[in-house]
Every structure is written in structure tokens, then in C-alpha cells.
Amino acid sequence: MATAKDKNTPNLVDMFTEFKESKNIDRSTLISVLEESFHSVIAKMYGTDENYDVIVNPDKGDFEIYRNREVVADEDFEDENTQIRLSDARQIDEDYEEGEEVSEEVKFSDFGRRAILTLRQTLAAKILELEKDSLYNKYKDKVGTIITAEVYQIWKKELLLLDDEGNELLLPKTEQIPGDYFRKGETVRAVVLRVDNENNNPKIYLSRTAPTFLQRLLEQEVPEINDGLITVRRIARIPGERAKIAVESYDDRIDPVGACVGVKGSRIHGIVRELRNENIDVVNFSSNIEIFIKRALRPAEVSTLSLDTENHKVEVYLKPEEVSRAIGKGGTNIKLASMLTEYTIDVFREIDDNQEEDVYLEEFADDIDQWIIDQFLNVGLDTAKSVLACSRSELIRKTDLEEDTIDNVLDILSAEFEEN
């Protein structure tokens, strides 16, 4: 029997133990790949491999190759690879007759160095293909699940991570939370976003901004979700800033919002930290779209609303003091509510018949920069008239804005009422 220790024989232990252990290739697959590789090399040398049997034992690095040839009369002999002369066969065993088959063991080293080199190249190609198939099959079934990986390389547009088997994963900058900052060697939790396999070259992309990431974190922190007692119906996120989650329970005894938040926020706090202090609002889902929209706009209290179900639009009417709450800082609250309910939401103030009409500062976003509007909102001035009611010096003192900026804002707001 030919062994890996024979002179000029390929060392199977050295060639394949590494693949078997580090690439997680199972024994039956390894044997199949080895046998196919031997047959491929033999076929290239002799034009056919049909009369060869290859037996491989990768655990020990042993292999045997047998060539099967038909016994023919000496005068009919034509092909040394598939035929053996009767006289030669009878030197092996005098009982051989024409038409019988002689099976002889051959040493692969006898095929020459070129055959050994071809074997190595064939095996390398097959193993590489096997690795890629294994990686793709492993991760295509993990899309939407959370994994933990180690930062290996930091690039401008993405991070290169390694999983516990040394497989390469990519976390693009666009899929990182704005507050994310990682160093080489740190571990990162993310959800498998997608697996591309262009030209049989699998690439695994991760995400920390996808709504699925937040949902999987909830499933880990809230046992009732994992057990199916609570269902996460919808998620809307502005990564790193704020998120809204709609949850539902089919058991009246379970408060889905309370279960997700936990006692004193114990369950939600861990998720908030993982998401770089992303504020998370949890609301009860309702199939009644009017109720759901009102809940989605909290902390604002909606007075009335008018639905356009065909175009998925809604006009929401609120008391003047509730409008800024509905819109939220930088418009985040109304944006998330729209994403959560899948309705375009337009906010309107309820005007008392005895009250002169006012205009909220958010409605001047086309003429006044948002950061300037935020300065007024931060000091409790959310309408045009509330700003105009203050003296110029008081506005400068309260907002800490430049005098020219204050004058420009006053001109814009005054012009609004002059036009009316």
C-alpha cells in the first residue's frame, strides 16, 4: 500500500489535515474530494480513469490506487493502460485466462512529478471551491440573525471582521450606527444583512442599523417575545437617535409595553446602550389605524384626525401646545410615526375662534435653518407670535444667537402676518 511517507509520494496528512480542522470539512466530503482529484489527474494522463479504483483514508494520510486491466492474447495486445498480455498475467497468477480482469496496485509516485504537481493544483482548486460553497451555505441561512465577530481591519468605508472560524465578514460604514467607534481586536454584535455570491465569491455583509438588529436584540432581552407571547409588529428607526416599536400580545394578562421595557427600564436599557443611546419608544399595536396613529405620535395628544386610506395619508389636528411634541426635535417624532404607521402625516393646529391665528416655527423650515429653529424651541418659543412677543434683546439673551440672525428671523416672521 502506498503511504504518505513513501518517497516522492504526496503527503496527504500535511496537505489535508489543515483543511479538515480549520475549514470544518467533514470526513466524507474530504474523501470524495480526494478521490475526485486523483481520478481527475489519472484521466488527464491516460485519457480515461474508468479502470482505476482509488481508496483514500485521510485520517492517516493513506491511499491506494488499483489499475484494472483486461487479459488479452499476446497478439491482440494494443493498450497498455487497459489491457495486459496473457503471458504477463500468468506471471502474476498462472490461472489467468483471456477476458478476465487483473487488478494491480500502482504507486502514484510512479506517475511522475508532473502528476503530483497537477494533483496539488487540482486539490487546491477543489478545496477553495468547497470552502466558498461552505461559507455561502452557512451564512445564507443566517440572514437576519445576530452574530458576534472580531474587528480585524479598519477601513474608511467598512470594517473587516472575523468570525470564530476565521471567515471574513464586512460591516459597511453605511450599516454602522453614527456613534459606533471600534478598535482592532474588539468584538462587534451585528445582524447578517445579506450574502452576495457573485462569481462564486461569497461576501457576507452585516448591519447594526437595520430594524432587524433591534428586533433580534429585543428577542434576546425579552423572554416573552422569544416565547411567542408578544409579537413585534413593526419597527421604525433613525439609527443612533430614536426608534419606535409597535408590539402586541394575544394574552390580556400580559402588558406588551411593560414587558419590553422591564422594571425601571431594566430590559430596554441594555438595548439602548448597544445602540449608542438610541431612544426607544414602545407602543401598543392596533389594527385600528386611527388608534395606532394616535399612539405612534406620542408623547403628543391628538385631538382629531382625518384619514385618507386610499392614499395612506392622514391630517392630524392638535392643540397648539401639542404640535411641537408631535413633530419632535428635528422632526424625528413625526418621521418615525409615519414610518411606523406607513401613513404620510400632516400636522395642523386647532385654532380657538377667539384666538388669533399663529404659525409654528417648524413651518418656516424653508426660510429659516433648522438649527436656528431648534435654538428657539430649546427655550420654549415654538410659534411665530411667541417669538414676536419677546423683545429683540430678550431673544438675543435667551437664544445666544447673533444679532443679524435674530433680525433676519424677526423680519421673516413679521412678513408672514403682514401678508395675511
Assigned C-alpha cell, 136: 455561502
Topology, domain 355-420: DNA polymerase; domain 1 (1.10.150)
3-state secondary structure of 303: coil
CATH of domain 214-285: 3.30.300.20
3-state secondary structure of 141: coil
Sign of CA dihedral 293, 297, 299, 302: negative
Comparing C-alpha atoms, which of 361, 372, 356, 355 is closest to residue 347? Answer: 361
Comparing C-alpha atoms, which of 206, 282, 205 is closest to residue 242? Answer: 282
- At residue 23, the pLDDT reads 54
- At residue 17, the pLDDT reads 54
Sites in the chain below the pLDDT cut of 70? 1-26, 58-61, 351-356, 419-420
- Residue 352 CA to its chain's centroid (Å): 51
Neighbours of 258 (CB within 10 A): 12
Burial class of residue 60 (count of CB atoms within 10 Å of its CB; 0-12, 13-18, 19+): exposed
3-state secondary structure of 280: strand
Q: Can you state the angle between helices 370-378 and 403-419, rounded to 10 degrees?
A: 90
- At residue 15, the pLDDT reads 56
Comparing C-alpha atoms, which of 215, 266, 220, 270 is closest to residue 243? Answer: 215
292-308 burial: b if 16+ Cβ within 10 Å, else e:
bbbbbbeebebeebeee
Q: What is the dihedral of CA 246, 247, 250, 256, to 10 degrees?
A: -130
Residues of the chain with CATH 2.40.50.140: 142-209
Assigned C-alpha cell, 303: 385631538
φ, ψ of residue 63 to 5 degrees: the values are -155, 155
CB 11 within 8 A of CB 116: no
The rounded distance, in Å, linking the Cα atoms of 141 and 194 is 10
Assigned C-alpha cell, 94: 498462472
Q: What is the dihedral of CA 177, 178, 179, 181, to 10 degrees?
A: 80
- At residue 48, the pLDDT reads 85
Residues of the chain with CATH 3.30.1480.10: 12-136
Residues of the chain with CATH 3.30.300.20: 214-285, 286-350
CATH 3.30.1480.10 for domain 12-136, yes or no, is yes
Q: CATH classification of 142-209, choosing from 2.30.30.100, 2.40.128.130, 2.40.50.140, 3.60.150.10? A: 2.40.50.140
Judge if the upstream peptide bond of residue 211 is cis by omega within 30 degrees of 0: no
Domain 286-350: CATH architecture, name and number where available: 2-Layer Sandwich (3.30)
- At residue 356, the pLDDT reads 57
pTM for the complete prediction?
A: 0.66
